[in-house]
Chain A
Amino acid sequence: MRHTISLLVENKFGVLSRISGLFSGRGYNIESLSVGETIDPQISVMTIVTSGDEQIIEQILKQLNKLIDVIKVVDMIDLDHVEREMVLIKVAPRQEDKAEVLRLTEIFRGRVVDSGPKTYTIEVTGDEKKIAALIELLKPAGIKEFIRTGKIAIARERIKKPSV
């Protein structure tokens, strides 16, 4: 089962290697990882996508919590949340496919951020399904390469139900 884990960590040098070392040392896998500053520059937020059975995920969460520099660990599966990832896709369509590529980009609310004589580079943001779908659709047109940021996730505001 796939889990998206959000971590608040001290923005100190070496923190990333402590976390990646934990995954590699214990044989857990990281599908994607993204890091960035938060509103408090002393704290970074990391989003890690990993997979494993229930027991492995429990261990991963506990082991992350145990790291001295980790302030908070949240398994997004427990929360209503929004997930996003960005990809840059470089396609090299034949002349006759160019219109279709641009049409798809528009449908997926993407943008062409670079274009040359042979290629378009498309930027698109979305959740996992959307990105996978676009890549699938663009394949016949000839994807040269793509690069993904890794997933980021944020919890939705909890709206209290009005008590009746």
Chain B
Amino acid sequence: MKMNGAEILIESLKKEGVKHMFGYPGGVVLGIFDRLYDDKDIELILTRHEQGAVHAADGYSRSTGKAGVVLVTSGPGATNTVTGIATASMDSIPLVVFTGQVPTMLIGNDAFQEADIVGISRPCTKYNFLVKDVNDLARIVKEAFYIATSGRPGPVLIDLPKDVTAMKAEFVWPQDVKIRSYNPTLEGNKWMITQAAHLIAKSKRPVIVAGGGVILSNASKELKELAEITDIPVVMTLMGLGGFPGTHPLALGMPGMHGSYYANRSIQESDLLIAVGMRFDDRVTGKIDAFAPHAKIVHIDIDPTSIRKNVRVDTPIVGDAKRILSVLNKVLKEEIKEQWGEVRNAWLKQIQAWKKERPLTYTYSEEVIKPQFVVEKIYELTKGDAIISTEVGQNQMWSAQFYKFDKPRMWLTSGGLGTMGYGFPAAIGAQLAHPDKLVIDIAGDGSIQMNIQELATAVINKLPVKVAILNNRCLGMVRQWQELFFSERYSHTKLDETVPDFVKIAEAYGAVGLRATKPSEVEPVLREAFKIKRTVFMDFVVDWKEKVFPMVPAGAAIDQMMFDEQKEKTEKKLKAVK
């Protein structure tokens, strides 16, 4: 049967199992939106900004493992997606983004609402397509989903000229995809894996560093097994949180700029790093020449370009983390059969001592709400069973430090690009995919204003997303740097009286607004918010002077950490959540 391009597109999406997409209409995609008007199988969620649509699809993807799908119009609609696409690209999140385009005839003519989105998005997509012939459309959609979700995942963009969506063709859904120039390596080299096993057997002070790749490849089970059979402690990068249970005795939390003292010390003292699905980002390594100076490095990653990009690697293993780890575990169990107990005891004892020496802490106050206290309370009340998204800045770092993730796909944060405005729409996407889960965006008063319009999306779709704003009336993280490195010259970071009344904003959109100004109000506000089955903004008026510690100054080695001096003086410690 012949169909027009819009119909072929919708049919193709159905073949891919798409149930939800996020988008925003406009002139050149009217035909497609018309097809969606009475479609029973695919629901399009109208966001209030195209950036919100992409972040929502991203949150949907991170929380489910499926590709997120976006549909927007040409020109400004397309350019508004760029930040969202770049965010997904940096964190290897599979998205398929459809942008409308002016008719083929007009491309290149500076037509009304024309933007060269294929050119603009080239460096921040895994691949992109301009569909020139309706007969190619079904195949391109199939290839796009395949490219987005296979190998090292990432966003793929498909640009759809208006005339192509109107032209007719036979709908032929290809049986399978074969791209001769694209064959990601999945199986790790057995010889290398055996070599890694021998390095593990010989090492006295090993550390596993798990990144986002563990989550993307669904390798948590295999990673846990590796850690448990070998008694090796596990550090998780910002992207890797939840890839290994945060409450496990072998878990050391996050390394790097705002990592724990014991995670950074362990890396620096280790004689073997087993890096899994992480890419030695500069926020993790600090000064690169001083990073893990005594360690041999085993690097497991699906992307060969990640290997030896930033650090020297002794044993590179290219492939899918899940498959490689399961082979590695097998080799360790069947061929090495080492009794680790004795050797590891000394190392684990040493790490235990570091944990005691400097746990993650902050100074509790009776008078003013400490932001870390809010995160701790959220953890306590949700028992770690909520999907948490964050914005960027201090809110993100405190969430990473004080919330413990035991399961993967419960933590949504913009790691690579560090996009303010990510958290709220991402939470909306995750809530749509998990209607019965508690989904909380831990936000800053600066970031939340970057996509605050999505309140409308949450309310109209009855998505009971909770937003906990750690309201310090500042662009806190930048202010922290100014305090520490720019003699407290707060250039354009104090929002003060210009911070809007978040309770009123929430109410204006038909959501619920709650506020806490005293520490004693934190728990009641959270309890109430979690009870209400509606979108809730919680305005926590917190101590504006609070800083994220430990902190490794930019360019320093990761064991050159700064700590909270004030706290060290008063000694009024409150232990981090156990």
Contacts and interface: CB of A to CB of B under 8 A. Distances in A.
A68 B309 contact: no
A17 B130 CA distance: 14
A62 interface: yes
Contact of B308 (A9, A14, A55, A63): A55
B304 A65 contact: yes
Contacts of B566: none
Interface in A36-84: 55, 58-59, 62-63, 65-66, 68-71
Chain B interface residue number, banded = 10 to 19
Interface string A6-19: 00011001100110
A40 to B, nearest CB: 11
A25 interface: yes
B304 A10 contact: no
Interface string B172-215: 00000001111000000000000000000000000000000000
A59 B309 contact: yes
Contacts of B123: 21, 25
B139 to A, nearest CB: 14
Which of A14, A17, A68 lies at the interface centre, i.e. has the most chain B CB atoms within 10 A of its CB? A68
A68 B318 CA distance: 17
Interface of A is mostly: helix
Given A59-B305, A62-B304, A63-B305, A68 B119 contact: no
A123 B179 CA distance: 41
Given A62-B304, A68-B126, A68-B147, A17 B309 contact: no
Contact of B181 (A58, A62, A68): A68
A62 B123 CA distance: 16
Contact of A21 (B122, B127, B130): B122
Interface in B287-322: 303-305, 308-309
Nearest to B303: A66
Nearest to B307: A62
A11 B481 CA distance: 49
B118 interface: yes
Contacts of B118: 14
Identify the 4 closest CB pairs spanning chains A and B, nearest first: A71-B181, A62-B305, A68-B127, A62-B304
Interface of A: 9-10, 13-14, 17-18, 21, 25, 55, 58-59, 62-63, 65-66, 68-71
7 contacts: A9-B181, A10-B181, A14-B130, A17-B122, A58-B308, A68-B179, A68-B181
